[in-house]
Amino acid sequence: MSLLEIKNAKLKIDDKDILKGLSLTVNKGEVHAIMGPNGSGKSTLSYMLAGRDGYELESGEVFLEGKSLSEMEADERARSGLFLAFQYPVELPGVGGMSFLREAVNSRRKFLGEEELDHLAFVKEARKVASKMFVKDEMLKRAVNVGFSGGEKKRFEILQMAMLKPKISILDETDSGLDVDALKIVSDGVNAQRNDDNAIVVITHYQRLLDYIVPDFVHILSDGSIIKSGGPELALEVEKNGYAGLINAA
Amino acid sequence: MVATQETIDKVKEVSSTYKYGFVTDLEAEKAPLGLSEDIVKFISHKKKEPRWLLEWRLKAYKKWLSMEAPNWAMVDFPKINFQDIYYYSAPKTKPKLNSLDEVDPELLRTYEKLGIPIKEQEVLAGVAVDYVFDSVSVATTFREKLAKEGIIFCPISEAVQSHPEIVKKYIGSVIPISDNYYAALNSAVFTDGSFVYIPKGVTCPMELSTYFRINEQNSGQFERTLIIAEDNTYVSYLEGCTAPQRDENQLHAAVVELVAMNNAEIKYSTVQNWYPGDKEGKGGIYNFVTKRGNCLGKKSKISWTQVETGSAITWKYPSCVLKGDDSVGEFYSVAVANNAQQADTGTKMIHIGKNTKSTIISKGISAGKAQNTYRGQVQIQKNAKGSRNFTQCDSLLIGDKCGAHTVPYINQFTPHARVEHEATTSKISEDQLFYCLQRGLDTEQATSLIVNGFCKEVMKELPMEFAVEAQKLIGISLEGSVG
Ligand SMILES: Nc1ncnc2c1ncn2[C@@H]1O[C@H](COP(=O)(O)OP(=O)(O)OP(=O)(O)O)[C@@H](O)[C@H]1O
Ligand SMILES: [Mg+2]
């Protein structure tokens, strides 16, 4: 059974077709990269998967470990192990990072039938993970994403991923806004979480990220559907020639 | 008690001089319905009060008769029939239940969500506790500890008997009987409340709070509290509790007076969770409260912190009169109004002395079709040179049927002062909710988290032990308001 299966997904926003019959299968242990021009529907796909209001499928279906997502709300999907690193992480004024993370982690643990972490145990764990990602403790004390630099926000997303230990992670342009060193740190953070039991979908514009997080498959998303799939070499081709040739050929 | 017979005699003496005499049965457990001079006398008699207090009450009653109920607040409710209220009934012992199994499960669920320990749940719900808990022994230990410091902490009715000179000196000194309609009413018919006296140089060794949680006050609908802090003192007082409180009395009109002398600090925190009524507001409490503190002494400080989540209608403006030079007034408020609740609350900061400072942080949260109004006055009098006020007034709207209103009044009579006012209105954004949901929080957790983030500046002013409960309470008050 595949971990994630998207079957002929169609989705409209404001009467405009955005996803036009998109199919994708992700198995455990795999890393997939999705590339595609601006406005092609990459973020829309990630919102659809995460179950955001207004991003319901018009037709088609999505299965997470064989279970249809259509009846699951966003929070249920998250607790089931679906994680989305936002292209634009959202600020939560006054909400401390530590307490936010703790509620998130405990929701997931509860779902998994694991014991909830008490304050002390949690703080210890969070600090451990944070130090691996070179995230300062001080950042966990601040309000979630408030006043974070672009790069800090992205790092904090991956920190959350590391804490939540999702089955499937969708990273929407996590590399954008990262400096060279941060890109390496974040990529190491992601790679450290790869195992035979989970999978990662990275959405990116730049081949460079894929030097660090080496994908098993690369897909080109254009105008709401996947027009070409291949191995890492496909990303190099995009880097060299742009999308035009691929789109015309499709 | 020594004064008893004498007082009764005096009451009788006074009453016989009135035209209609004293028709009420003095031995009754409950005063007859309605309000009259007789009823005022009945209450005073029941409490075995000295004559001066009876006269003070009667004066207040006459004043009240000549006054009109205020109608400037942004609240809407049917006219109250003051003759349809009982003004005195003997303190009731609650129907005792044998175990928590007999308690309304709805109530228990709320206690549980609030994280109130089982033992306290039992007391709050009125379960007969046979182990000699606690309620008695804890109270006794407290009293002993306080007495050692010379602190007087007792029901005001007791203070009237034991320390009449202090009560007489200060009662009505901050909020005169003619102050407003509900204060006049309270002065005429108040039944009980707390009295705190901190003698010179004493820092109160504990929060005056836990005591109340365990000994649920039965002081009824017209509560009266008086706190006096002499020179160089500190006291922190917490009123109310997060556990939902129901009451058969719809109208609550409390009066709280605080007096701070030189270099004294009073921190007064309130968590108000009276029954708000059903979704339409039916059956909810009308909470019309007058609270004011006098910073009489130099460098004195009075700080009000309130978390108001209950009541159908809240009409409440805890205020500070900053008379002493360099005195400080603070007001930190969270007011949550959901469904049909109406809250009109805020503060008054009256700067009289030089270099006086005030800070106002108000966080109003509206949901459902509730209306939430911040009404605040900052007055800088002519001699209050070098004074400063900072006001921050934030409103958060949940849904689009509710309302938030900000009504600031600023009267500045000297140019040598600085008054700053900032106001914002925001909504919980769809983005924020989705972000939280995506991390596995459910809608209610997410709302609670975002709202508590919004209130953080105020919540951190609450005594630690209550802050956690108050946070949960805010979440619970908003349940079902999103999504
Ligand atoms: N809420 C919305 N209302 C109207 N149009 C929308 C909405 N959300 C997305 N779209 C449109 O859907 C299309 C796909 O947008 P999407 O954000 O998925 O693109 P993307 O591939 O992530 O682009 P980028 O690389 O710039 O991040 C765009 O044309 C966008 O304008
Ligand atoms: Mg995008």
CA terminus-to-terminus distance, chain A: 30
A149: which DSSP letter?
Answer: -
Distance of CA A242 to the CA centre of its chain: 24
Pairing of strands A59-64, A67-68: antiparallel
Q: Sheet harboring A59-64: ordered strands across?
A: A16-26, A4-13, A59-64, A67-68
Instruction: Report CB contact under 8 Å: A94, B453.
Output: yes
pLDDT at A30: 95
State which H helix or E strand residue A248 sits in.
helix A244-249
Q: What is the pLDDT along chain A (250 residues), one digit of tens a residue?
A: 899 999 999 999 999 999 999 999 999 999 999 999 999 999 999 999 999 999 999 999 999 999 999 889 999 999 999 999 999 999 999 999 999 999 999 999 999 999 988 888 899 989 998 888 778 888 888 999 999 988 899 999 999 999 999 999 999 999 988 888 889 989 999 999 999 999 999 999 988 899 999 999 999 999 999 999 999 999 998 888 888 877 887 7
Query: Phi, psi (5° rounding) for residue A32?
Result: -110, 140
Q: What angle do CA A243, A248, A250 make, to 5 degrees?
A: 95
Provide residues with CB under 6 Å of ligand 1.
Answer: A 13-14, 18, 36, 38-44, 87
Contact B435 A90 (CB under 8 A): yes
Q: Which residue in A126, A70, A108 sits closest to B438, CA to CA?
A: A108
CB contact under 8 A, A75 and B431: no
Q: Which residue of A has its CA nearest to B456?
A: A94
Place of tokens 């001066």: B52
Nearest CA to ligand 1 atom 24: A38
Do residues B352 and B383 lie in contact, with contact meaning Cβ atoms separated by under 8 Å?
yes
The verdict on a CB contact (< 8 Å) between A95 and B438 is no
Residue A62 is classified by DSSP as E
Q: Looking at CA atoms only, how far is residue B145 from chain A in angstroms?
A: 33
Nearest to B454 among A93, A100, A111 (CB): A93
| CB-CB under 8 Å, B439 with A100 | yes
Q: Near ion ligand 2, which residues have CB within 5 Å?
A: A 42-43, 87
3-state class (DSSP) for residue B273: coil
B464 touches chain A (CB under 8 A): no
Spatial contact of A31 and A44, defined as CB atoms under 8 Å apart:
no
Q: Who among A51, A91, A104 is closest to B441 (CB)? A: A104
Candidates B430, B432, B439; nearest CB to A104: B439
Q: Which ligand lies nearest to the CA atom of residue A205 in the structure?
A: 1
Q: Token digits for B411?
A: 């009267």
Residue A186: name the closest of A217, A215, A209, A216 by CA: A209
Of A50, A89, A92, the CB nearest to B450: A92
E strand or H helix that includes residue A185: helix A180-193
- A201 Cβ neighbours under 8 A, 6+ residues apart: A4, A26, A31, A32, A33, A34, A168, A169, A170, A171
B374 neighbors B397 (Cβ within 8 angstroms): no
Backbone angles phi, psi at A47, to 5 degrees: -65, -40
Query: Please, what is the Cα angle at B429 between B427 and B434, to 5 degrees?
Result: 150
B115 contact A CB<8A: no
Asked whether this complex has an ipTM greater than 0.90, the answer is yes
Q: What is the DSSP letter of B196?
A: E
Contact: A92, B437; criterion CB under 8 Å: no
pTM of the model: 0.82
DSSP state, B291? Answer: E
Mutate to test the interface with B, among A44, A48, A80, A100 (most CBs of B within 10 A): A100
CA atoms in the 13 A half-sphere facing the CB of A152: 16
Radius of gyration of chain B (CA): 23
Contacts of B431 in chain A (CB under 8 A): 90
The pLDDT score that the predictor gives to residue B2 is 40
3-state DSSP assignment of residue B70 = coil
The rounded average pLDDT for each run of 10 residues, N- to C-terminus, in chain B (483 residues) is: 45 36 49 86 90 96 91 81 79 59 70 66 56 43 82 88 95 95 95 91 82 44 92 91 63 93 96 80 84 97 93 90 97 90 92 97 91 93 95 91 90 94 91 96 92 91 81 81 67
* Ligand 1 atom 9 nearest Cα: A44
Map residue A186 onto helix, strand or coil: helix
Q: Is B460 on the interface with A (CB under 8 A)?
A: no
How much is the pLDDT for B18?
29
Q: Crossing angle, helix A150-164 and helix A180-193, to 10 degrees?
A: 10
Q: What CA–CA distance (Å, rounded) separates B411 from B57?
A: 33
Q: Whats the size of chain A, residue-wise?
A: 250
Where are chain B's structural domains? Answer: 21-113+126-273+283-316, 336-427
Q: Does B439 touch chain A (CB under 8 A)?
A: yes
Q: Per the CB < 8 Å rule, is B445 touching A103?
A: yes
Nearest CA to ligand 1 atom 29: A39
Q: Which residues of A touch B439 (CB under 8 A)?
A: 78, 100, 103-104, 107, 160, 164
CA dist B327 → A143, B173, B295, B322, B365 (Å): 33, 18, 6, 6, 30
Can you give the pLDDT at residue B225?
92
What confidence score (pLDDT) does residue B144 get? 78
Please check whether residue B445 touches A, CB under 8 A. Answer: yes
Secondary structure of residue B447 in the 3-state scheme: helix
Q: With an 8 Å Cβ cutoff, is A89 touching chain B?
A: yes
CA distance B124 to B368: 29
Question: In the CATH hierarchy, which top-level class contains the domain A4-249?
Answer: alpha beta
> Most A CBs within 10 Å: which of B392, B432, B434, B448, as the mutation test of the A interface?
B434
- What is residue A7's predicted lDDT score, i.e. its pLDDT? 95
Q: Angle A222-A228-A231 (CA atoms, 0-180°, nearest 5)?
A: 125
Q: Cα angle at A136 between A134 and A137, to 5 degrees?
A: 130
Chain B partners within 8 Å of A95 (Cβ): 449-450, 452-453
Q: Do A103 and B441 touch (CB under 8 A)?
A: yes
Give the closest residue (by CA) to ligand 1 atom 31: A39
Chain A residues in contact with B467 by the CB 8 A cut-off are none
The CA radius of gyration of chain A, in Å to the nearest whole number, is 18
pLDDT at A105: 95
Alpha-carbon span A59 to A12, nearest angstrom: 10
Q: In sequence order, what are the residues at sequence separation of 6 or more whose Cβ sits closer than 8 angstroms to the Cβ of residue A16?
A: none
From the list B431, B440, B453, the residue facing A108 with the nearest CB is B440
Rounded to the nearest angstrom, the distance between the alpha carbon of A13 and the centre of ligand 1 is: 9
Q: A95 and B443 in contact by Cβ < 8 A?
A: no
Six-digit token string for B36: 């009259």
In B296-432 the beta strands, taken as DSSP E runs, fall at 301-308, 313-316, 319-322, 328-337, 342-351, 357-366, 371-380, 387-397, 403-412, 417-427
H/E stretch holding B427 reads strand B417-427
Question: Distance from the CA of A172 to the center of ligand 2, in angstroms?
Answer: 7
Is some CB atom of chain B closer than 8 A to the CB atom of A53? yes
Chain A residues lying within 8 Å of B452, measured CB to CB: 94-95
What is the predicted pLDDT for the residue at B131?
Answer: 35
Chain A touched by B404 (CB under 8 Å): no
Say which ligand is closest to the CA of A39: 1
CA-to-CA distance for A37 and A16, rounded, in angstroms? 18
The pLDDT value recorded for residue B5 is 53
CA of A224 to the centre of ligand 2 (A): 12
A6 alpha-carbon distance from chain centroid: 15
- Inter-chain touch B434–A52, beta carbons under 8 Å: yes
By CB atoms closer than 10 A (0-12, 13-18, 19+), residue B163 is middle
